[in-house]
Amino acid sequence: MNQVQILVLDFGSQYTQLIARRLREFGVYTEIVPYFEKIESIKAKNPKGIILSGGPASVYEKDSYKPDSKIFDLKVPVLGICYGMQYIAYHFGGKVIRAKEQEFGKARLEILAKDSTPLFANVKQDSIVWMSHADKVEQIPSGFNELAKSGNTHYCVMADFNRQIYALQFHPEVVHSECGGEILKNFAVKICKSDTNWNMKNFIHYEIEKIRKITGFTSEK
């Protein structure tokens, strides 16, 4: 049976499927669910880590997408990407505003605290990352540390090490982010301690067995 290692909450980003794809390429079994997934369902999946995807909304708007905040009580690491980062900042009392200088495209990641976290293992200084945001975190919440910045974004990476909550303003899942795959892998494997034994052959076998149980079909004639 495939044990969910990383669960991605989808806030409507065009890149959400890429998050799961990149992690599966590293052998980490990853599933995607809507941002409004019930906390009971999330608990039942028992993931080793949760990723909050990007999305087109502004977190400070009245009807913006928000997950069940009990995800932060599950005692598993959480990674927010773009909108996911802004939600984390907003939820924990930080400040998110409309950026005067919006970022769409390539930027250089200036790591400020490389040795403070395994998130940056094998990530080179000034690597290219892909930005796509109109809002930005103006003030990080209490308990969080700034870990990296870019030319137009002061808070590009932040983390609360005590609660194991991490957040990126850029999209590590796209190929334009030079070391993005390493960052995702570091989160899943080094921080969440995910298994890396998933592959498509095992997945197909698992799905076939699941269908057989549902249909009652147990052997070929």
C-alpha closest to that of 95 among 164, 152, 144: 144
For every residue of 107-133, DSSP letters joined together read EEEEES-GGG-GGGTT--TTEEEEEEE
Active site residue 179: no
Backbone phi, psi, residue 165, to 5°? -115, 125
Q: Among residues 133, 156, 173, 178, which one is catalytic?
A: 173
Marked catalytic residue, from 103, 171, 178, 182 = 171
* Encoded amino acid at 181, one letter: G
For 45-164, strand residue ranges (E) read 49-52, 78-81, 95-111, 127-139, 145-149, 157-160
Q: In the annotation, is 82 catalytic?
A: yes
173 is catalytic: yes
Dihedral through CA 66, CA 160, CA 165, CA 86, nearest 10? 30
List active site positions. Answer: 82, 171, 173
